[in-house]
């Protein structure tokens, strides 16, 4: 028997199992190094526009070789030089002999590494914004469908006043809306590192332009414009502040904790047999217990979410130890943390979208569970209705108290049913009460239905308009 070599080494399940191809390609070596090359072209273009002796022929030669990377040659250079950027400077120079003298002119390594990270994270955030909008859209549809279905709400995981299934979905959706707002804010604040030189002083570029400060400032503006950023960070060391990474990881962590909370709610509702995640015809819940319908997708969301939440602290620690203008202990760490955080949140949102568009609701169980608790909640309405038809409030209150305690003993000590309404209906003191009216669950949901309508029109619809593709985004779970 032979084994494939691809199965003989560890893989990354975020790529092989969970995240989208789109996100995996975004953080691929090909995309990263091709972006480095585009940044070298942008730098050369801007320097030429400001009068440095760089020819159009050199720029065109570089453009012709943006994507054809000789990976074996680059690996050999890096083994020798122990410097990844210089390895690719030489590899690019070998492919572009005419441009070789001006590649990376005046730049430090962080010109390509940091600006690339910012470009990739910007695109990653844009992808996640679309996915968040799709999640909000699916929850909005679900909320609309179940706007009128009363259910038991919980505080402290103890029965509380009734709500509706649709309103609970809006509660879930709003946390994702807050995450989207925070993500959009971070996107709006994102800037380029630009061209800042070795320690951020732009000394090398000032030398290139023979002390012309205005040309150095204009060079930075041109590079940022060509990168599609409104400008650069106000001041940097050798790197842009790693606080930016921490801020972005904080947004990703917040998305993860929202997903964890919602997935946990669904897992608890599945235990109550009220709502379940999708379960396919041939899906196996347990290798030992054939009857099981485990909430696999929601459990996976929670597992991935905990991973992402743990990464936020890592980013803060990295920022905290960047001595003076920079240290290099961030490099290996960021290669791991940033891509994996984006891949994991991508996977989480795909799973959320898949779950929310396929939620299975059991209205009869929901109604049964609500009616088991509703009699106690209805006692105040029953008391007031009995007073309105001539009863004595204090006498009626005592009768309800005695009946309620008797029922509670039957439920807790004997495992019996809640028959409080039947007991009160049989008590002559409540003969004038319309019990069908005062025990209608919708009587107790307050403005739940109206709040669903308002939330959908005021919050969800504007998001749908901003992200028109959100309603058609696919959410395929591969495994």
**Contact present, 367 and 150 (Cβ < 8 Å):** yes
- Under 8 Å between Cβ of 129 and 417: no
What tokens appear for 439 in the block? Answer: 């025990």
Closest CA to 115 of 208, 34, 35: 35
369/477 Cα distance (integer angstroms): 32
Considering only CA atoms, which of 338, 320, 339, 342 is closest in space to residue 329?
320
Instruction: Please identify every residue annotated as catalytic.
Output: 156, 286
Q: How many angstroms separate the most distant Cα atoms in the chain?
A: 103
Kindly list the distances between the CA atom of residue 87 and the CA atoms of 6, 73, 104, 337, in Å, as whole numbers in the listed order. 27, 8, 12, 23
Identify the bridge partners of residue 154 per DSSP, sorted by sequence position: 159
The token pair at 347 is: 């996977």
Q: Render 296-317 in DSSP notation, one character per residue.
A: HHHHHHHHHHHHHHHHHHHHHH
Alpha-carbon gap, residue 276 to 457, rounded angstroms: 27
Residue 395 DSSP symbol: H
CA 32 to chain centre: 23
Separation between Cα atoms, residue 358 and residue 37, nearest integer Å: 44
DSSP state of 232: B
What are 155's strand-pairing partners?
A: 158
Please name the residue that has the structure tokens 């602290």. 313
The alpha carbon of residue 169 and the mean position of all alpha carbons in its chain are separated, in whole angstroms, by: 17
Show the tokens assigned to 300: 């996976």
Instruction: Please name the helix (run of DSSP H) or strand (run of DSSP E) that holds residue 276, with its range, or none.
Output: strand 275-276
Residue/partner pairs of 48-51 with CB below 8 Å, 24 or more apart = 49/222, 50/209, 50/215, 50/218, 50/219, 50/222, 51/209, 51/215
């Amino acid at each position: 028997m032979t084994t494939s070599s691809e199965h003989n080494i560890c893989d990354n399940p975020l790529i092989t199992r969970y995240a989208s191809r789109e996100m995996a390609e975004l953080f691929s070596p090909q995309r990263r190094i091709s972006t480095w090359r585009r940044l070298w072209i942008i730098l050369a273009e801007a320097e030429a526009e400001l009068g440095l002796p760089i020819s159009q022929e050199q720029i065109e030669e570089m453009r012709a070789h943006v994507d054809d990377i000789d990976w074996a040659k680059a690996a050999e250079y890096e083994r020798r030089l122990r410097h990844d950027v210089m390895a690719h400077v030489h590899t690019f120079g070998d492919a572009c002999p005419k441009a070789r003298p001006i590649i990376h002119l005046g730049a430090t390594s962080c010109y390509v590494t940091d600006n690339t990270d910012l470009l990739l994270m910007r695109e990653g955030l844009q992808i996640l914004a679309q996915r968040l909008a799709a999640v909000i859209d699916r929850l909005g549809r679900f909320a609309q469908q179940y706007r009128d279905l009363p259910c038991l709400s919980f505080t402290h995981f103890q029965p509380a006043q009734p709500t509706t299934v649709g309103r609970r979905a809006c509660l879930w959706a709003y946390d994702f809306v807050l995450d989207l707002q925070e993500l959009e804010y971070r996107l709006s604040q994102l800037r380029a590192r630009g061209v800042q030189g070795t320690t951020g002083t732009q000394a090398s570029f000032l030398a290139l332009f023979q002390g012309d400060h205005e040309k150095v400032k204009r060079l930075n503006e041109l590079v940022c414009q060509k990168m599609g950023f409104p400008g650069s960070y106000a001041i940097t060391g050798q790197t842009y502040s790693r606080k930016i990474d921490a801020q972005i990881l904080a947004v990703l962590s917040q998305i993860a904790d929202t997903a964890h909370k919602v997935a946990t709610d669904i897992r608890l509702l599945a235990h109550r047999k009220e709502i379940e995640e999708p379960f396919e015809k041939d899906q196996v819940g347990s290798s030992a217990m054939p009857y099981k319908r485990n909430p696999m997708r929601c459990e996976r969301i929670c597992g991935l979410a905990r991973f992402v939440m743990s990464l936020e602290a890592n980013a803060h620690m990295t920022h905290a130890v960047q001595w003076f203008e920079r240290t290099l202990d961030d490099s290996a760490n960021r290669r791991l943390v940033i891509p994996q955080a984006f891949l994991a949140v991508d996977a989480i949102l795909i799973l959320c979208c898949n779950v929310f568009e396929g939620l299975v609701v059991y209205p009869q169980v929901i109604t049964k569970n609500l009616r088991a608790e509703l009699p106690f909640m209805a006692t105040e309405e029953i008391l007031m209705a009995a007073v309105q038809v001539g009863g004595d409030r204090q006498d009626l209150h005592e009768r309800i108290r005695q009946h309620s305690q008797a029922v509670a003993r039957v439920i807790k000590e004997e495992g019996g049913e809640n028959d409080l309404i039947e007991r009160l209906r049989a008590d002559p003191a409540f003969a004038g009460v319309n019990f069908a009216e005062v025990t209608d669950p919708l009587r107790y949901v307050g403005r739940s239905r109206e709040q669903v309508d308002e939330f959908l029109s005021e919050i969800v619809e504007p998001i749908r308009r901003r992200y028109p593709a959100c309603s058609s985004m696919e959410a395929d779970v591969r495994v």
